[in-house]
Chains A and B, each alone.
Chain A
Amino acid sequence: MGCFNSTVRKPVPGHENPTILASQTAFSVSEVEALFELFKSISSSVIDDGLINKEEFQLALFKNRKKENLFANRIFDLFDVKQKGVIDFGDFVRALNVFHPNAPQEDKISFCFKLYDMDGTGFIERQEVKQMLIALLCESELKLADDTIEIILDKTFSEADVDQDGKIDKSEWHNFVTKNPSLLKIMTLPYLRDITTTFPSFVFNSEVEEIAT
C-alpha cells in the first residue's frame, strides 16, 4: 500500500503525506487523495499558494468571494487551528474529519459547542445566541419581531440552561444536544462518504499507483 518514501513526486505546497493523514482520521488514503483534489481547487482559486484563505473559503461556500458571513467565519476560525488566517491541507482534512458520518459524536458535540461559543469563553451566553439569531434573520427571508426573538430565546434557554445562570456550559450543551440530536445535523456531511466518486481525478494522480510503475 502506501509507502512513506514516495519522494518520486515533487512536493506540492500544502500537501501532507496522505498515509499519515489517513491514519489520523476516518478517511482512507484514497479519500484523503480525493480531498486533496478538492483542496487544490479551493486553495488555488484566488491565490495559488496551496493554502485556503478567507476569500477562497467564501468563494467555495457561496460562489461569492466577497460574501462575509458570521457563521462561515466561525467555521473558518475553527478550521484554522494555528490561527494564521489560512487553512492548510492538514487542517482541512482534520477538520473535515469531524464532519464525517463515522466521526465520534463527542467530537461533533464539542466542535459545535465551540462554533456557537463565539467569544471563546467556554460558555454559550444568551447574548451570543441572540446575536447569532439576529444575524441569521438579517441574512435570511425570515423576519421576526423583537418580542418573538425573546420568546424563542426564553424557550431555548429554559430547556438548555439547566442551572439558569444565563449561559450554557459544556455539560449543559452535551445534555441538550443529546435530547435534540437534530442540532448536530450541521456537523455531518454525507458527501464525505462518496468523496472518491465525487472527485475521481485522484485515480490518475494516486501516489499508490505511481509506486507500481
Chain B
Amino acid sequence: MEDKWFKKGFKHTKFYSEDDNIFSLKDEEIDDDCIAYASDQSAYESESESDGKRRSRPANLNAFDLISFSPGFSLSGLFEDGSKESRFVTGAPVSKIVSKLEEIAKVVSFSMRKKDCRISLEGSREGVKGPLTITVEIFELTPKLRVVEVKKKAGDKGEYEEFCERELRPGLRPLMLPGTCEPSRLVPGPDEERNKG
C-alpha cells in the first residue's frame, strides 16, 4: 500500500462515527487522525460555533488521552516502521503557536493550511515519496497548558527528521516549557526516568 502504484486512483475514504452518525472524510480535508483525536469533542465543536469564530478552541485532553500516547499501546509498530509523533507542552496560547509555525513555514517556503487547531505544513519539493507534509495539532490540557503534536503525514522519513531537527524544533523551542527534554532516543536515560515533572 505504500507503493505509489497501488495508490493510483485509489480514494481512501475513512469513516468515523460520532454521536450515532456516520461521517465520511475526504482524504484531502482530514485524515485518519481526524476529529482532533481527543476527548471533549462536543466542546471543541459547539464552542467554536457559538463563539462565532471557528478559530481556535482546541480539543481537550484527559488522563486517558495522554496515556494512550504511549508507543507501547501502538500496535501499528507491528506493521510499519513509522515516524513517531512528537509532542510538547506549552503555556503559549494557540495564536502564538500558530504564528510561530507561520514563521517557520515562511523560512523554508512551505505552504501552510489551517483548520481550527489543526495545521498542515507542506513542502513543494517532490521527493521520492512525494512532498513532505507535516501535521501539527494543538490540544488543551488545562486552562493554562496546551499540548502540541507534530507528525509526518506524507513524504520521506529522513527528510521529515531533518526538518524537525533543523527547523521545526529549534523554531518551537522558545515555546516549550523549561525542562522539556530533547527526544533523541527511544529508551529514556536514567535522569529522565527520575524526572517525572
Contact = CB atoms under 8 A, between A and B. Distances in A.
B49 to A, nearest CB: 19
Interface in B55-105: 61-81, 86-89
Contacts of B52: none
B175 to A, nearest CB: 13
A182 B41 contact: yes
Contacts of B65: 182-183
A132 B1 contact: no
A63 B81 contact: yes
B93 to A, nearest CB: 17
B41 A62 contact: no
A132 B68 CA distance: 10
A138 interface: yes
Contact of A129 (B67, B177, B182, B197): B67
A183 B197 contact: no
A144 B124 CA distance: 37
B142 interface: yes
B35 interface: yes
Nearest to B183: A141
A75 B76 CA distance: 13
Interface residues of A, number: 58
Contact of A133 (B16, B18, B66, B179): B66
A189 B181 contact: no
B188 interface: yes
Nearest to B20: A178
Nearest to B74: A186
Contacts, number: 158
A143 B89 contact: yes
Nearest to B32: A190
A191 B66 contact: no
Given A71-B70, A159-B62, A181-B17, A189 B75 contact: yes
Interface in A176-213: 179-183, 185-186, 189-191, 194, 197-198
Interface footprint category on B? 35 or more
Nearest to B195: A143
Given A69-B70, A180-B39, A186-B68, A139 B1 contact: no
B142 A152 contact: yes
Contacts of B37: 182, 185
B128 interface: no
B121 interface: no
Contacts of A146: 197
A67 B23 CA distance: 39
B1 A69 contact: no
30 contacts: A38-B79, A60-B78, A61-B72, A62-B77, A67-B187, A69-B71, A73-B72, A74-B72, A75-B73, A133-B63, A133-B66, A138-B195, A138-B196, A139-B72, A140-B69, A142-B180, A143-B179, A148-B142, A152-B61, A152-B66, A152-B142, A155-B62, A155-B63, A160-B62, A180-B40, A181-B16, A182-B37, A182-B65, A183-B68, A194-B1
Interface of B: 1, 6, 14, 16-18, 32, 35-41, 61-81, 86-89, 141-142, 145, 147, 177, 179-183, 186-188, 192-193, 195-197
Interface of A: 38, 42, 60-64, 66-67, 69-75, 96, 99, 115-116, 129, 132-146, 148-149, 151-153, 155-156, 159-160, 179-183, 185-186, 189-191, 194, 197-198
